[in-house]
Chains A and B, each alone.
Chain A
């Protein structure tokens, strides 16, 4: 068992900002654990612009935004970075167990910052009936397949939900030569940012169906079509409004949920509805010295806010370490 002053779990924008901030506030024994091969997290696949306006007063792409923090953190020798490292267990006393190729490691930090981000809600969480063919993707997975792996998931796309990733993927698929046939949103209005509606949907003439839900996904081996139906103010189907839209691909963009299974395992008090820690103050949890920041604390609209929140978490961890010395 290795001891550390501070361990940060997650090497995306939140984890990097938190580690750098903790260092700048005097913590000199830091281990950052990242499960992927690279730092930067989800920003690596967000190749569109729109990042950094608030924090850097510049318009950056996701990888550019991440790169500024990657360069900075790599220049700080007091921050050890362990990539391809997957945390599998977290205990109440903050003992972290992680696996990496060739080793299982156990580390007990005095303070711990969890920056594990969020995941996408799935088709199953919103109970969309129908079959389970190939061609159903979370919007983020489709983004990864196109932007990182160079693969085009499909040619005729319907997007369920109008979250930001869905809107951005509407544009991305269109630019890749695919036809986005509809965005289907159950609410009266979009849940995405206005700028994304304008730049990713309206500019390309993609039809949006508000107050509509997907009543069935059809297709045996591959998606063939979907049925949609209008709903009234009580979420009841309006009869006679059912239409079918042919497509080979369905993207699901129905919101994000903090990824907090590890702190739940450690016994942190959780809000079961939002999957985030119950806390009176930002970044704090029911376990002293265990902090949560970025999208795993709450899902933010902008990465700039994630950075600001995570810098605060780094500061809080430094304060905690000074007090407990």
Chain B
């Protein structure tokens, strides 16, 4: 059995942000993920918004960690070389009553410490957000809102954590936890792990993991959100992230964009029972289009090139982040729905504090590699720079994805950094994420994956075991 100081359960943005933060210290850490790759749970369908912290009551963990997380994300983005785009957000009021509610939102935001909040007028909106509906009366402007790629963020945290000594095990599902007093033993199909401390960052399954050590006082209630992506040709649809006034359960139908430039509309918010239900619906599309068009009337459903559904791991009104005094050494990080992506770095700091309080001796390492080696994406650089790269490495000029301009080199690099599946390649490189949906590049990507991973063609999967792309190889058997 392998022995660790800390086992983190869950390889989403929360688990990997914690792993990266802990990798500063002289502690032995392993992260266990049940899926074939990291970010394949809740994080993969995140909208990528780094929220300013405008929509939470003062005194909540959500409000506090969101504001802190927003500032930390900007700093970390520079260390980990991820593209963070500071775009700003507008919460838009369409009625006099909504305008009054905006005032309250501003007060709450100011109290939470959200910087530079400003009420803007109809005239300001007309000038600065020309495609916004003429019906808009006013908006609350939060300049610190930004966008990031949620899955690349996870991979960046993980990669940096690994280079600082953290171990990461995928396809390693925690099936049982034995309290060994002191410490824990985590039983998985890939062997058992012993640890002094366990951090439960299991997203949709956090309640099940907590139950394994006898903690039954919260339940994760998945809340489904359907999102629709528009063609990159409509990149300039809006300048800011556009929000309606929030309701009790969600932030409403937003008009945003991804950090790679696709406008995005959604999400819906629907409580569901099934923790695996990622289906989209006709009703969802209708609802999203209606909400989005109210905000930006020129949105056209023919511009939709992709859609997906995600599940928020909701549990009550606030995050649950605490050391369980009844089970010393066990820390729950649960109910991390929005603004979880934003809050993740702040959550990591908070958890580090909880570990210290719980008695873990944490000394900083002499050498901590805070920077990550940057990878290159042709789609996000000027051609002159591509030219230089291709001169250095010829295979940057070998394009495999026609819609998103992804080279064979980027695909091989993604695999070297941990991609094992077609979705893993897509999330890292954008190959298959464009308007043709992989019609052109699937065959090319499968060849590269087979070559680099030594898997047979029939072993190449979309997202792990059971999702093989083809059933038979008629040439190699």
User: Residues of A at under 8 Å CB distance from B?
Assistant: 35, 84, 86, 88-89, 97, 99-104, 119-120, 122-125, 127, 129-134, 137-138, 140-141, 144-146, 148-155, 176, 215-216, 218, 220-222, 248, 261, 264
A104 pairs with B397, CB closer than 8 A: yes
Docked CA distance A176–B281 (Å)? 34
Chain A hits for B422, CB < 8 A: 134
Stretch at the interface among B214-222, B257-265, B354-362, B436-444: B436-444
With A103-B390, A119-B439, A120-B436 in contact, do A86 and B399 touch (Cβ < 8 Å)?
Answer: yes
B395 at the interface (CB under 8 A from A): yes
With A124-B437, A127-B304, A222-B467 in contact, do A150 and B279 touch (Cβ < 8 Å)?
Answer: no
Chain A hits for B308, CB < 8 A: 132
Interface residues of B in 241-282 (CB under 8 A from A): 276, 278-282
B399 pairs with A130, CB closer than 8 A: no
Chain A hits for B304, CB < 8 A: 124-125, 127
Chain B hits for A141, CB < 8 A: 438-439, 442-443
A100 pairs with B439, CB closer than 8 A: no
A-B contact pairs, 11 of them (CB 8 A): A86-B405, A100-B397, A104-B383, A119-B440, A122-B436, A129-B279, A129-B281, A138-B436, A145-B470, A154-B471, A155-B471
Chain A hits for B233, CB < 8 A: 261, 264
B464 at the interface (CB under 8 A from A): yes
A99 pairs with B399, CB closer than 8 A: yes
B390 pairs with A127, CB closer than 8 A: no
B307 pairs with A124, CB closer than 8 A: yes
In the complex, the number of residue pairs spanning A and B with C-beta atoms less than 8 Å apart equals 145
B457–chain A nearest beta-carbon distance, Å? 6
Docked CA distance A150–B436 (Å)? 22
B463 at the interface (CB under 8 A from A): yes
B416 at the interface (CB under 8 A from A): no
Interface of B is mostly: mixed
B402 pairs with A86, CB closer than 8 A: yes
B443 pairs with A101, CB closer than 8 A: no
B470 pairs with A152, CB closer than 8 A: yes
9 other A-B residue contacts (CB within 8 Å) besides A124-B437, A125-B305, A151-B474: A88-B405, A99-B390, A104-B387, A133-B467, A134-B462, A140-B439, A151-B470, A221-B464, A222-B467
A222 pairs with B468, CB closer than 8 A: yes
A82–chain B nearest beta-carbon distance, Å? 12
B383 pairs with A89, CB closer than 8 A: yes
Docked CA distance A130–B407 (Å)? 31
With A84-B398, A101-B398, A124-B307 in contact, do A150 and B383 touch (Cβ < 8 Å)?
Answer: no
Docked CA distance A154–B301 (Å)? 31
B16 at the interface (CB under 8 A from A): no
Q: Which residue of A lies closest to B284 (CB)?
A: A129
B383 pairs with A88, CB closer than 8 A: yes
Q: Which residue of B lies closest to A122 (CB)?
A: B437
Docked CA distance A229–B370 (Å)? 56
Chain A hits for B458, CB < 8 A: 151
B80 at the interface (CB under 8 A from A): no
Chain B hits for A149, CB < 8 A: 443, 446-447, 457, 475
B386 at the interface (CB under 8 A from A): yes
A103 pairs with B399, CB closer than 8 A: no
For chain B, give the interface size range: 35 or more
- The 6 A-B pairs with the shortest beta carbon distances in the complex, nearest first, are A102-B394, A221-B466, A150-B475, A134-B462, A221-B467, A86-B399
Interface of A is mostly: mixed
Q: Which of A101, A103, A123, A153 has the most CB of B within 10 A?
A: A101
User: Residues of B at under 8 Å CB distance from A?
Assistant: 233, 276, 278-282, 284-285, 301-302, 304-308, 383, 386-387, 390-391, 394-399, 402, 405, 407, 422, 435-440, 442-443, 446-447, 457-458, 461-476
Q: Among B278, B301, B402, B474, point to the contact of A131 (Cβ < 8 A).
A: B278
B462 pairs with A138, CB closer than 8 A: no
A276–chain B nearest beta-carbon distance, Å? 15
Docked CA distance A144–B446 (Å)? 12
Docked CA distance A281–B98 (Å)? 54
B449–chain A nearest beta-carbon distance, Å? 13
Docked CA distance A130–B395 (Å)? 37
Q: Among A35, A97, A125, A153, point to the contact of B471 (Cβ < 8 A).
A: A153
A153 pairs with B469, CB closer than 8 A: yes
B285 pairs with A127, CB closer than 8 A: yes
B279 pairs with A103, CB closer than 8 A: no
A138 pairs with B398, CB closer than 8 A: no
B408–chain A nearest beta-carbon distance, Å? 8
Chain B hits for A129, CB < 8 A: 279-282, 284-285
Docked CA distance A152–B475 (Å)? 10
Chain B hits for A145, CB < 8 A: 442-443, 470
A122 pairs with B471, CB closer than 8 A: no
Q: Which residue of A lies closest to B442 (CB)?
A: A141
A216 pairs with B443, CB closer than 8 A: no
Docked CA distance A221–B278 (Å)? 11
With A124-B437, A129-B279, A141-B439 in contact, do A35 and B473 touch (Cβ < 8 Å)?
Answer: no
With A104-B387, A133-B462, A144-B443 in contact, do A150 and B397 touch (Cβ < 8 Å)?
Answer: no
Q: Among B397, B440, B468, point to the contact of A103 (Cβ < 8 A).
A: B397
A321–chain B nearest beta-carbon distance, Å? 28
A122 pairs with B464, CB closer than 8 A: no
B397 pairs with A35, CB closer than 8 A: no
Chain B hits for A248, CB < 8 A: 471
Chain B hits for A222, CB < 8 A: 466-468
B280 pairs with A151, CB closer than 8 A: no
Docked CA distance A102–B440 (Å)? 22
Docked CA distance A84–B402 (Å)? 12
B474 pairs with A152, CB closer than 8 A: yes
Docked CA distance A134–B470 (Å)? 9
Q: Which residue of A lies closest to B283 (CB)?
A: A129
Docked CA distance A148–B398 (Å)? 20
Docked CA distance A148–B475 (Å)? 11
Docked CA distance A145–B438 (Å)? 12
Q: Among A104, A154, A215, A220, point to the contact of B390 (Cβ < 8 A).
A: A104
With A86-B402, A148-B443, A221-B463 in contact, do A102 and B468 touch (Cβ < 8 Å)?
Answer: no
Q: Which residue of A lies closest to B447 (CB)?
A: A149
With A129-B281, A133-B467 in contact, do A99 and B386 touch (Cβ < 8 Å)?
Answer: yes
Q: Which residue of B lies closest to A141 (CB)?
A: B439
Docked CA distance A137–B6 (Å)? 43
Docked CA distance A215–B461 (Å)? 26
A32–chain B nearest beta-carbon distance, Å? 17
Docked CA distance A153–B301 (Å)? 31
A29–chain B nearest beta-carbon distance, Å? 24
